[in-house]
Chains A and B, each alone.
Chain A
Amino acid sequence: MGISLAFHIVFAVIGIAMPALMVIAEALWHRGGDVEDYNLAKNWAKGTAVLFAVGAVSGTVLSFELGLLFPRFMDHAGPVIGMPFSLEGFAFFTEAIFLGIYLYGWQRVSRAMHIVSGIIVALSGLASAAFVLVANAWMNVPRGFRIVNGRFIDIDPIAAMNTPFAAHEIVHMVVAAYMATGFAVAGIHAFAILRGSATRFHRRALTISLFFAIPFALVQPLIGDFAGKQVARYQPLKLAAMERLERTEKSASIRIGPIEVPGALSWIAYGDRNAVVRGLREWPGSDWPPPIVRTSFQAMVALGMWMAAVSAYAIVLRLRRRPWTDNRLLLWLLVITAPMGFLAIEFGWIVTEMGRQPWIIYGVMRTAASVTPMRGLAVPFTIFMAIYVLLAVTVISILRSQVRATIEERE
């Protein structure tokens, strides 16, 4: 399940953000009539088609796997958080319908209808992300039911959707999706330019995608800070695991290697330098999340900071009126940064999901109690693993050839 999730997320993220980029390129084409913008929209759409297909099938796998692997979780939780899942179904439906029209309808629908389809794709991608995140937020801060004798009663799906974790999960993730995709696209086009294909097509592509990514990358640390405060409030144990804080401390400090910033953790978590941060030892060891939570958290923060720094550098260049596409340092930085957004997202999900362990529904149901009685799960696990590797290799080779085609035909 974790592997499926990690695999699906990359494609889901692209499914959220790529349509936005296509639509922006198409809108620029409509406004300015620049044929390169049109080419860009078409090329980006081609990549989106492949990635969306993989996202759709891996998403289907997930919806089945919820039951196949965690039948008892679904038995109890299904009615409580089913609402966002079914709403997500509708959003996904709309996305698939209008993506079909967008990809194959260039000649069949009017220009206005075409771009409207693209906008609908982008919005419904956003909506489906939001609904799925509501469901995940509920697993972290469950609401809208009571438990009597091990049964969920007084189920209120609306109250369940109102979980306080939803807001920051949605904003944090959507912004992450936009910045990760923007940087990945910018990195690919930067690579093409470095390979000597400094055509208007690639320059234009780089400029649009970088302009797209920068604001999100700059605002993300602030959102992350808000997310951290929410975790501190509702899941203090997860916070302790993220920082590997063993003992409860007043005015707790942040330690990264040899550096220690006194009071920083208290301030970040509660907005007060002298606040008490509870340590792991306040809970029994059997409730502790695994140590990977801390490593992943630090990796995510480091990657996020790096992307914010690259964004700042790009802005400085812009202010000094140095074109981005001529600056080899920036181009190389962008190539290096290309995969980082996705890595950060994966690390972030490890923090959320592993940080919730050993619970599948935080404080309510243990993961171990929800698993299927089916034996020999290693078999499907290995098969799906192999399938994902195969799919990933194929997607990469297809995208490579698509990019290579744009380099060669314009040389």
Chain B
Amino acid sequence: MISYAEITAAVMLVALIVYALTGGADFGGGLWHLLAAGPRAKQQRLLIDSAIAPIWEANHVWLVLIVVLLFVCFPHAFSAASIALHIPLTILLIGIVFRGAGFAFRQYAATRTMRREWSRAFAAASVVTPVFLGVCLGAITDDRVVVRDGISVYGFVTPWLHAFALAVGALALALFALTAAVYLANEAGDAAVANDFRIRAITSGVAVTVAAFSGIALAPDRFRSALLHSLWSWPLQIVTGMVALALFAALLARRFAVARLLVIVQTALILFGWALAQYPLIIAPDLTIDAAAAPARVVRLTLVELLIGSVVLAPSFFYLFRVFKGRSETAD
């Protein structure tokens, strides 16, 4: 029987996937802003700006929603992660501040120097933040986030500074870079700019593959065997692999709208696979979704509230994307 807590965890997974696909791509945009090069560097940057500007704040709220759900419905997990992962979470926060503020400031900057400096801050933060997001996710998958009586058993560094967490950090960065490049190729009006991002997408696709395989190699045994030897493993692996190959094919064939769909599916599958292998844990090695949960009544009420809230939210979010993204294929 599926518990309310598990339903809430599933909702959080969906929110995480949406965040990776929207907010994550905004970070990827920041990375490409930093790496804009060649004769069309300026056009690349302009495209990134216009793609991100209207939507990044709304995209960012998915993360806030995840954090809030975590502390309302899984207070023990939130508390444990806050203690053991204090350092990477703080770095993550600093990254979020500079990314958001940097982007807003560079748009409205008064002087050229200020514009340049805040552009740098925006771009650098867009690289740092996803890495630490991945590190935190990697850390709760590994077995060293253990808090007993308010004390972190492995201290404040060991829980997250290890090869596996860093591999997940690299994977997050590569994945965000990939989604951003695919979206940008799709949105570019100019064929040459689209091609720039096509090449970037292919490169980051290779990086995603490398990071994903090193992640699996470095993963703790429990997680790896769940990922590779469960009932669902083979179907999921095969579908993910096929989607990845189809994505490369679509990029080579310049079918950007198809590529966008495929990159969305691929990102969702990667996170979905992670969640399946992690289940029933919320924080490895021993904090399960049910054990970390708030009293059932609170979780139930939150679910009702989520249901009502999404009635307002889903159409609004859809409308936002229709206004700013819907017409781009035909209008440009």
Contact = CB atoms under 8 A, between A and B. Distances in A.
6 contacts: A78-B72, A99-B57, A101-B54, A155-B297, A157-B301, A398-B110
A100 interface: yes
Contacts of B61: 89, 92-93, 96
A115 to B, nearest CB: 15
Interface stretch (A69-77, A201-209, A295-303, A339-347): A69-77
Contacts of A373: 83, 150-152
A394 B105 contact: yes
Interface residues of B, number: 67
Contacts of B298: 79-80, 82-83, 155, 157
Interface stretch (A34-42, A60-68, A229-237): A60-68
Interface string A92-113: 1110111111011100110000
A58 interface: yes
Which one of B64, B81, B110, B302 has the greatest number of beta carbons of chain A within 10 Å? Answer: B64
A85 B72 CA distance: 8
B71 A380 contact: no
B324 interface: yes
Interface of B: 53-55, 57-58, 60-61, 63-65, 67-69, 71-73, 75-76, 78-83, 86, 89-90, 92-94, 96-101, 103-105, 107-111, 114, 118, 150-152, 156, 294-295, 297-298, 301-302, 305-306, 309, 312-313, 316-317, 319-320, 323-324
Contacts of B294: 78-79, 82, 155
Given A82-B294, A372-B86, A89 B76 contact: no
Contacts of A103: 54
A155 B97 contact: no
A100 B71 contact: no
Given A96-B57, A374-B86, A71 B93 contact: no
Contacts of A394: 101, 105, 114, 118
Given A68-B82, A74-B79, A401 B110 contact: yes
Given A56-B57, A74-B78, A82-B71, A50 B108 contact: yes
A11 to B, nearest CB: 11
Contact of A49 (B80, B92, B99, B104): B104
A90 B313 contact: yes
B290 to A, nearest CB: 14
A290 B63 CA distance: 36
Contacts of B86: 68, 372, 374
Contacts of A391: 97, 101
Nearest to B103: A53
A67 B78 contact: yes
B286 to A, nearest CB: 17
A61 B69 CA distance: 16
B320 A83 contact: no
